[in-house]
Structure 1
Amino acid sequence: MSTQQRRSTDPPSLFRQLAEQALARSAGAPLVNGNRVQLLFDAAANFDAWLAAIRSAEHSILIEMYLFADDDFGRQLRDALQQKARQGIAVYLLYDWLGCWREHYRHFFRPLKDAGAQIRAWQPPSFGGGLRLLGRDHRKLIIVDGHTAFIGGLCASSRWQDWRDTGLQLQGPLLRDAIAAFSDSWQHLGDSPLPDIETDNAPCGEVAARLIATTPATANLMRLDLLIAGFARERLWLTDAYFMGTGTYLAALQQAARDGVDVRLLVPRSSDIGWIATISRTLYRPLLAAGVRVFEWNGPMMHAKTAVADGRWARIGSTNLNVSSWLANRELDLAIEDDALAQQMEARFLLDMDNATEVLLSGHAQRPALKHARSHRQWLPVRQQAVIGAAAAARQAMRIGDVVGAAVRGTRAVEHSEASAFFSIALTLLGLAVLIVLFPRFVALPLALLLTVAGASVLARAISLFQLRWRKKQHPPGNPPTTTPPPDDDLSA
């Protein structure tokens, strides 16, 4: 065979090998075969499956949960865990302090601890922690008996009862990676490691998937999302709760749409964090101009974080398409390479379209406009709105992405069609400025506290480094410290 003939036959195989290598390196996780995955849509399916698995647990339960609320379902789940702990089942619970700050200080988890459960909080405020408060454990993971895992976007709260969200049940060899991800988080919070968990990792299905356990600054899923945007040839359908994509990711979506890929983005209309929805809308026009189709969910809240490409690849997990999830948080997602499951995800996406309103470019100004008028918002009681809004604001206060920064700095072209969104942002910033002028003490005290914590943290770190340097000077490499032998009468002890 001639060299030219070999070149004509080699590229397809070579491309597949390079694509697999690129996916593995971007995700930081290998493709594992032999798994069984069941898709679980919305709270009813997920919560019922969680409780059934926990109540049947025989030796261990591991939970890593961003938000564990003191409400009807939160207490129901806590009671189920408490009962298993009293039966001698090993229960390990890791919750995020910022997601559960009220529960943390109201001792919501004390009954579990009293029953024998091992409980740790992810990075509560401390002088040694400093600004690590910005990086949260945003994962949603439950592992029962080392045999069954639940992954997705749902938290342990009754709030999800009315929300649209997606999770999954996982069994098979990937349970090893799930336990390793939990163990890594657990190890970060204490000296005692997670004991060995009995596992059943035998192949039990035909699904090939990658478990992507993102940690701060690794950007594993960000690289993978960019790669999938480049690899998609026919369809790329995205669902996201808090969309604030970076300029690089927005450009990848625009280029895919210009190349003829059917790119669709489904986001919430009525978000539990209203300012994020406002910022998301400033991104619509350039996406729509490139051919990306944007839809807003008409229900109470769209909280799913999913993607599906070409009816072959799908992603489900906790990662939002924003800088906070990509670079600051601990997140957990499952990237699935399976035609049947990807097609189920596509079917669900089309079903969601029936309850969404498309945003179009219309008029001579080419401004984003809804295809159909929005229905009236379903309002919650004022007290409930205030509690939910305050909790959400506390969790998200420091998470504005690079979108606002880009607009303020002028590094992104801002069109006149975005005037209303930026007007809202401007009023908010000016309102905050007025409050600062009128009530400076309310700003000065939190700022002083933040600076004190940050300064004390840096000082503590400096002292520990000075101590380390002093110890190295006292015992330089190659000269280990000498020890005094015990007295002769103690040698036989």
Structure 2
Amino acid sequence: MTSQTASSAGSPLFRQLAEQALARSAGAPLVAGNRVDVLFDAEANFAAWMAAIQQANSVVLVEMYLFANDDFGRQLRDLLCRKALAGVTVCLLYDWLGCWREHYRGFFKPLLQVGAQVRAWQAPSLTRGMRVLGRDHRKLIVVDGHTAFIGGLCASSRWQDWRDTGLRLAGPLLSDAIAAFADSWAQCGSPLKLPPLPAPENHGNIAARLIATTPATANLMRLDLLIAGFARERLWLTDAYFMGTSAYLTALQHAARDGVDVRLLVPRASDIGWIATISRTQYRSLLEAGVRVFEWNGPMVHAKTAVADQRWARIGSTNLNLSSWLANREIDLAIEDDGVAATMAQRFLQDLDNATEIVLGGSRRRPVPSQEMLRRSRLPLRQQAVVSAAAAARQAARIGVVLDSAVRGTRDVDDSEASAFLSIGLVLLLLAIAIAVFPYLAALPLTLVLLLAAASVLLRAWQLYRRRRRKKQHPPPRPAAAPPARQPPDDAS
């Protein structure tokens, strides 16, 4: 690559094009003037939630996938009740599937009794039927329009033993956070009505994007693919339920082959075991390309974070799988700041101390940093900048390969994946045998689903017929005809 091409990669035009690509992929602009405090694990996050809500004077908005009837869940609910009694506007939106036990056992009734507003996302009904896909997987709390909390933690004591990451946000992005909540709220009923709130002011010097995804938008999926293509030195990922698409796996592989230090931290003992099994089927292709894979040794790592180079980090609710990318409502913060990126990188290395690296067995040893990366680390700073600019141009070419992989959608299966496929196959076989011996196991759920769907459609038809009949019986009044224009008298001048 010539020096002219390398310098153009670092030119203002190149940076402008990169910013445009990031903004269009994420569907969110880069907003400056924010303060971001990274909070690790439940102790720091829960304490910050409770302290902020305790000081609330006007509004508390909570959008939460899972709100459990356990010690912490009850503490948070009771605090919200006290704030509602004190005249604070409290709006809680929870996901029905994440809280179905609490939904039917009256866990949220105390909030309604004290005047709080509570809504459930996609609760089954005769008019809407039962929709399992497209969950509200967000974890968002907004207090008084000046503080927001975003991350992977739900309102449950279960998170006390889990490794997770959240953040506290203040600054102009609070307007986007409130708008994201208002959009979800309006999908479940009447629009959100809040008392007047002061316009968010600058609270720091951090630039970030608030990415509130909705089903089928794929904003964060496009951004994750783009970051995998733009990363020059490192891309460190922590994900609770990793099931990368063919396009994303290809992006990680090409980044690693190009000398990027790509690492992936996932749980060994997942609370959803079958996802961990499927995730392991994707290890070998990553390892062969030079991606380093680590499994967390603790009870559960539930964080959804990423760190790229020395500048970019992402924290939020989105997992690296199709459900989060395409089906759910998620919310994440993509941060462009040296300090936050350094904090996240330091914690990632600390997490690896409690993780086991997965390596290729036999004569295949674990991947090591490429000679290109070692040579780059020994260069003077000026030459490092030139090499990095050249790498940026090479890595931009990965995007074409990623898109090609997305179209083809294929991936070779290696013999090392036999055990994982055996487990999946045995589960399917046992399910087939159970249905063959006890046919009602398949017939009864299908019958119930069909009855519910039929009742929903018939009820909707009856509502439409009734509406049409009312329109015929009470037609809207016709607008009064405009009076004819007065003609001026003949002698008017």
| Counterpart residue type for residue 50 of structure 1 | W
Deviation at residue 447 of structure 1 after TM alignment: 1.6
Report the secondary structure of 2:264's partner residue.
strand
CA separation of 1:254 and 1:459: change in aligned 2, threshold 3 A: farther
**87-96 or 10-19: which moved more?**
10-19
5+ residue gaps, structure 2: 368-408, 481-493
How many angstroms does 1:15 deviate by? 1.0
Deviation at 1:127, TM superposition (A): 3.2
C-alpha contact (below 8 Å) 2:59/2:194 kept by paired residues: no
Q: Would the alpha carbon gap of residues 285 and 368 (structure 1) be closer, same or farther in structure 2, given more than 3 Å must change?
A: farther
Which residue number in structure 2 is paired with residue 188 of structure 1?
A: 187
Q: For 1:168-227, what per-residue CA distance to the aligned partner results, in whole angstroms no more than 9, with x for missing partners? A: 000000000000000000011112433355134110101000000000000010000000
Matched letter for residue 91 of structure 2: Y
Normalised TM-score (structure 2): 0.83
* 1:471 to partner: Cα distance: 11
- Whole-Å separation in 1 of the counterparts to 2:351 and 2:290: 20
Alpha carbons of structure 1 residues 85 and 437: separation in structure 2 relative to 1, 3 Å: same
How far apart are residue 482 of structure 1 and its match?
A: 4.8
2:137 counterpart residue number: 138
The separation in 1 between residues aligned to 2:4 and 2:270, in whole angstroms, is 57
**2:257 & 2:271 partners in 1: Cα distance?**
33
Matches of 1:360 and 1:10 in 2, distance apart?
A: 36
- One-letter amino acid of the counterpart of residue 478, structure 2: T
Residue 395 of structure 2 corresponds to none
Partner of 1:314: 313
CA contact under 8 A between 1:127 and 1:456: conserved in structure 2?
Answer: yes
Report the equivalent of 1:393.
none
Cα drift, residue 431 of structure 1? 1.2
The residue number in structure 2 matching 1:84 is 83
Q: 1:133 aligns to what SS in structure 2?
A: coil
Distance 1:260 1:272 in 2: 34
Shift of 1:12: 1.8
Partners of 2:211 and 2:332 within 8 A in 1: yes
Match of residue 128 from structure 1: 127
How far residue 463 of structure 1 moved from its aligned partner, in angstroms, is 7.3
Is the CA contact (8 Å cut-off) linking 1:173 and 1:202 kept in structure 2?
Answer: yes
Query: Which amino acid in 2 is paired with 1:446?
Result: P
Q: 1:191 to 1:334 in 2, by over 3 A?
A: same
Mapped to 1, the partners of 2:8 and 2:251 lie a distance apart of: 30
Give the whole-Å Cα distance in 2 for the aligned partners of 1:238 and 1:354. Answer: 15
Residue correspondence of structure 1 range 30-69 to structure 2 within 5 A:
30-69=29-68
**Is the CA contact (8 Å cut-off) linking 1:269 and 1:297 kept in structure 2?**
yes
Rg larger in 1 or in 2?
A: 2
**What is the rounded CA distance, in whole Å, between the counterparts of 2:350 and 2:229 in structure 1?**
26
Output aligned runs, 1:477-488, within 5 Å: 482-483=477-478
Instruction: Tell me the equivalent position of 1:299.
Output: 298
Q: Percent identity?
A: 71
Alignment of 1:57-206 (within 5 A): 57-130=56-129, 132-206=131-205
Residues 227-306 of structure 1 aligned to structure 2 (within 5 Å):
227-306=226-305
Matches within 5 A, 1:322-361: 322-361=321-360
Segment drifting more, 440-449 vs 124-133: 124-133
Offset at residue 50 of structure 1 (A): 0.4
| Structure 1: gaps spanning 5 or more residues | 370-409, 475-479, 486-493
Check the 8 A contact 2:39/2:45 in 1, yes or no: yes
Deviation, structure 1 residue 125 = 1.0
Say whether the 8 Å CA contact 1:54–1:61 is kept in structure 2.
Answer: yes
Distance 1:19 1:9, change over 3 A: closer
CA distance in 2, matches of 1:33, 1:411: 40
**What displacement does 1:52 show?**
0.5
Checking the alignment, whether the CA contact within 8 Å between 1:285 and 1:367 is kept in structure 2 is no
**For 2:286, what is the secondary structure of its paired residue?**
helix
Distance 2:421 2:459 in 1: 42
* Residue 24 to residue 471, structure 1, CA distance change in 2 (3 Å): farther
Separation in 2, partners of 1:360, 1:317: 29
Alpha-carbon distance in 1 for matches of 2:365, 2:99: 40
Q: Specify whether residues 428 and 53 from structure 1 end up closer, same or farther in structure 2 by C-alpha distance, changes over 3 A only.
A: same
Q: Distance in 2 between matches of 1:233 and 1:7?
A: 14
Tell me by how many angstroms 1:437 deviates: 1.8
How far apart are the structure 1 equivalents of 2:288 and 2:56? 52
* CA–CA separation in structure 2 for the residues paired with 1:83 and 1:166: 28
Deviation at 1:435, TM superposition (A): 1.6
SS at match of 1:132: coil
Q: Name the SS for the 1:134 alignment partner.
A: coil
Amino acid of the structure 2 residue aligned with 1:232 = A
The Cα of 1:236 is off from its aligned counterpart by 0.2
CA distance in 1: counterparts of 2:56 and 2:197, whole angstroms: 12
After superposition, residues 359-378 of structure 1 pair within 5 angstroms as 359-363=358-362
